[in-house]
Amino acid sequence: MASFRHRRDGGLDVVRARHRTSAFVYGNITVLGALVAVDSRAVETGHAAIAVAATAVATFIAHIAADLVSERVRPDHLPGKPREELAEELRDATPIATSGVVPVLLVLLGTLEILPAQPALWIGIAFVVLRLAITGVVTERLSGRDPSATALWGGIVLAAVSAGVAVAKALLTH
């Protein structure tokens, strides 16, 4: 039986684990950047949900395009990449796209007036920061290792740095 601590398959190979971890971090940071760039008025009008969803989807597409181009640089590149490899690349990039799902739903709660707009936005931001904070634990699990306190603290530091980057981006670009 699979659990949070152990993968049923014993873990991904190093390359797959690295790609998925990178996508997880990248997707969450870009979504966090989109969230801190909107305000409660954007939540009320639905523009926040559109901005977050568009950020996640556009980043996913850009990441896949960049990976496909960069794969051509490899000395062992074979034209006409096998479907299995393409499927792996899509799976590895999926955390970028999915990083926006829950935040979009949360800000939609504000749009639909199920929650007040500002708390809906803050809950969305907190959700993404929490995801970033557990990155170390997720990485250990993807690697088939038991999560450690060091991994947990590493994720917490990553969340703090990511929040700082997102806020700096919002302040410098808006």
Flag whether pLDDT at 8 surpasses 60: no
Mean pLDDT to the nearest integer, 10-24: 78
Task: Name which of 13-22, 24-33, 116-125 the model is least confident about.
Answer: 13-22
CB 144 within 8 A of CB 16: no
* Closest to 84 measured CA to CA, from 27, 16, 144, 25: 16
Burial 124-144 (b: 16+ CB within 10 A, else e): bbebbbebbbbbbbbbbbbbe
pLDDT of residue 146: 84
Q: What is the pLDDT of residue 1?
A: 34
Residue 53's pLDDT band (cuts 50, 70, 90): very high
Q: pLDDT confidence of 67, banded at 50, 70, 90?
A: confident
Mean pLDDT to the nearest integer, 58-68: 88
Residue 46 host element (H or E)? none
Q: pLDDT band at 173, cuts 50/70/90?
A: confident
Given a cut of 80, is residue 83 above it in pLDDT? Answer: no
pLDDT score at 20:
84
pLDDT attached to residue 166? 81
- Give the per-residue pLDDT at 5: 45
Q: What confidence tier does 130 reach under pLDDT thresholds 50, 70, 90? A: very high
pTM: 0.83
Query: Is 32's pLDDT higher than 90?
Result: yes
Instruction: Give the pLDDT score at 147.
Output: 84
Query: Average pLDDT of 1-25?
Result: 67
Which of 130, 110, 93 has the alpha carbon at shortest distance from 52? 110
